[in-house]
Amino acid sequence: MITLFSQYLKKISLFNYPVFALFPVVISIAITWMYASVMTAADVWSIESQCRTDGTRELVADMPWIRIPIPGQWGGVLFRTYAIFPMMGAMFAGMIESGE
């Protein structure tokens, strides 16, 4: 759907606003959730299925509203020259391209 919206329907506008060109991902997610909601309401999937939309209520309710990130949570910071120098090159190219 993302490809369909962003590539083939991008020239279609609603109220002079190119909705499909600007929001293909958001529209695709909304359509997928609506489809899953209809299928859940029709009881197409079993109770244990991951496709059901009624199983996420507890997930959203149990999520903390504020979460403080912990530094080094997945290990220490690693600096590798084979990663740093190409990124520096990309940074310099971006600086040169955007310079006035």
Per-domain residue ranges for the chain? 1-59
- The model's pTM is 0.56
Instruction: Say how far apart CA 34 and CA 28 lie, in whole Å.
Output: 10
Select from 32, 36, 34 the least CA-distant residue to 5. Answer: 32
Judge whether residue 74 has pLDDT over 70.
Answer: yes
pLDDT of residue 58: 73
Percentage of the chain beyond pLDDT 90 is 32
